[in-house]
Structure 1
Amino acid sequence: MRVAAIDCGTNSVRLLIADVAGGSLTEVARRMEIVRLGEGVDSTGRLNPEAIERTRKALVGYAAEIAELGVSRVRMCATSASRDASNAEDFRGMVRSVLGVDPEVITGDQEARLSFAGALHGLNAEPPYLVLDIGGGSTEFVVGFERVDAAVSVDIGCVRMTERHLHGDPPTPAEVAAAERAITKVVDNALRKVSGHGAMTLVGLAGSVTTVAALALRLPEYDAARIHHARIPYDDVAKVTTDLLGSTVADRLDLPVMHPGRADVIGAGALILRVIMERAGKASVVASEHDILDGIAFSLA
């Protein structure tokens, strides 16, 4: 069955078109657009009309590709920003008009379970796993073996933490310290809830983690094949985090692996990853290019 999975988060909207048969998935196309749907939601509680329009334009392109490639079933999941917004119906109406399907505004728990299902695809590492999905508005913590044992979604993400704390360019030491205190408090609570300290393998998903991995690997350009399942030591994550938080947005844009839409928030994303590794006592993280999109695709089969 050829399916289309769409994940619309706080920072990006992504598409996976895949052929799914039994427990196997063959990727046909994978796309990502930074639309910053959740811009300002943390402070206003509403989706910005300009952000909805940016998302609409991305979805128009996705709809054309879905039609061209003969997709049988489509599922779109909308996560943190659309959960938090008081005008989410404006967003849902736009999606219906473009894609012909309703977006599912999934809960944090559903998001965590879909991410876990996607992350385990093709993974060869020692269980139990602690899977992290660091998004723009939230981060999901999931622990399990072949299935989920415990999951929690918390309101720390690269966009949310940047908007709350990291206002300087580069952020000041006081701003970084305030962000780290806030992140640490939430992370400690999340790790207790899912018993994350007992996991043998830490797996990190989404753009903050894969960008940090690309920088740690010193890649000359973003290379998903080299990033996927790369194991990145804590010391390398810490160095990349320090470098990012000490640089300006313009400096980050000069990095060959940096997506332009991620440059202003990657410092916060890296800090979240570093704090989680530190508080969970993990010496390394396995970066995964398989994530909630893959989980959505499997759910359609």
Structure 2
Amino acid sequence: MTTRVAAIDCGTNSIRLLVADLPDPSAGPQAPLVDVSRRMEIVRLGQGVDRTGRLDPAAIERTRVALADYATEIEKLGAERVRMCATSASRDAANADDFTTMVRRTLGVDPEVVTGDAEARLSFTGAVRGLPDHTEEPYLVVDIGGGSTEFVVGTRTGGVEAAVSTDIGCVRMTERHLAGDPPTLSQAAAARADIAAAVDQALTAVPGREAATLVGLAGSVTTVVAIAQGLTGYDPERIHHAQVTYEQVVEVTTDLLAKTREQRLAMPVMHPGRADVIGAGALILEIIMKRAGLPTVIASEHDILDGIAWSLQESDGGAAPRLRNIAHEVAERDAELLRRLGE
């Protein structure tokens, strides 16, 4: 017997939805989840947060539009359980309550603003389930997001050994350092120094240099791997569990940082919403590989989103019928307000 669940991951740069059928727990730890729908929208929720400490109202509205569309799909597909996790940007913002209120009204459940440690553990669960049996343990899983990067060390059977979240991400580093188009050499050098310091701290907090296999998650990693493979279009099946070398990552990073935004947009695998921040994301990956001494990285299309879905296997979650009730209540309230205004 399967359970249909909906997982939403709202990060600094993107908001993603996974509706999936989970196997019965009795099927064992190797039984896979089955995708029903997997979607992503670039909403840049964390735009300007590093500078202002607040979520921009326009960014909250972009997120609301995407989330409303997701809520409709969740209801249509009949998900029994729903969980939404919000990460770096909504942790940092002074006006996070505005975001929470918007989510509650739009989706019908509260977002969980997860800690960096919880984010890291969810990412590890999503990434490690389904890795090829021949991959050597322990794993260092890195999730390069828009505002933060999570480092997790562990094994398939033993789980997470150590985890840490750092405030380096492709959006944050772009806004802080890489203002040029393309970035200047001095801007890139400043970004390198900032990233290297954070990575060294992370690799001291977790035994990342003792890992045998590096697994990279999220759009920065998968885009770099797609470019390194020479793909003519973004192909998740060819990217998932593909392995590239440090030398390939350096080559891609150098090329991305030398290109203008328009030139990056013209690359066949580039998502339009990622073109202005991919240079920083690639640079983070390159520096992690160098500082950890790991010669290759395996890309995974399964990450925190899958971890959120798996977390619903033994949880009551948020029942999908509640989405319909909340939507109905909001519509009734708005109709009543319009009626009063017309009197």
TM range (shorter): over 0.9
The answer to whether 1:3 aligns with 2:5 is yes
Distance 2:149 2:218 in 1: 10
- Aligned counterpart in structure 1 of residue 73 of structure 2, from 56, 61, 65: 65
- 1:137 is aligned to 2:171: no
- CA drift of 1:52 comes to 0.1
Work out the percentage of aligned pairs sharing the same amino acid.
69
Q: 1:20-99, aligned counterparts within 5 Å?
A: 20-21=22-23, 22=25, 23=29, 24-99=32-107
- Residues of 2 paired with 1:61 and 1:237: CA distance? 36
Please name the residue that 1:212 is paired with.
Answer: 224
Structure 1 stretches of at least 4 aligned residues deviating more than 6 Å after TM superposition: none
Aligned to 2:339: none
Deviation at 1:192, TM superposition (A): 1.0
**2 CA distance for matches of 1:192 and 1:110?**
19
Deviation at 1:268, TM superposition (A): 0.1
Deviation of 1:118 after TM superposition, in Å, equals 0.1
Find the aligned partners of 1:291 and 1:211 in 2 and give their Cα distance. Answer: 15
Q: Deviations over 1:205-264 (max 9, x none)?
A: 000000000000000000000000000111100000000000000000000000000000
1:166-200 C-alpha deviation (Å, 9 max, x unpaired): 00000000000000001001101100110100000
2:172 aligns to what SS in structure 1? helix
- Are residue 232 (structure 1) and residue 244 (structure 2) matched? yes
RMSD over equivalenced CA pairs, Å: 0.5
TM (normalized to structure 2)? 0.87
SS at match of 2:141: strand
Residue ranges of structure 2 left out of the alignment (5+ in a row)? 314-343
Say yes or no: does 1:163 pair with 2:175. yes
Q: 2:153 and 2:39 mapped to 1: Cα distance?
A: 28
Q: Provide the secondary structure at the position in 2 that maps to 1:188.
A: helix
The one-letter code matched in structure 2 to 1:176 is: A
Aligned mates of 1:180, 1:49 — CA distance in 2 = 31
Q: Distance in 2 between matches of 1:96 and 1:289?
A: 28
What amino acid is aligned across from residue 285 of structure 1 in structure 2?
V
Aligned residue type for 2:19: I
> Is residue 187 of structure 2 the alignment partner of residue 175 of structure 1?
yes
- Aligned partners of 1:256, 1:57: CA distance in 2, in Å? 27
Q: Which has the larger radius of gyration?
A: 2
- Aligned position for 1:292: 304
1:105-124 equivalence runs, <5 A: 105-124=113-132
* Whole-angstrom CA distance in 2 between matches of 1:54 and 1:264: 18
Deviations for 1:100-136, whole angstroms, at most 9, x for unmatched residues? 0000000000000000000011102111000000000
User: SS of the counterpart of 2:33?
Assistant: strand
Q: Determine the C-alpha separation between the residues in 1 that align with 2:207 and 2:215.
A: 15
SS of the equivalent of 2:109 reads coil
How many aligned positions are there? 301
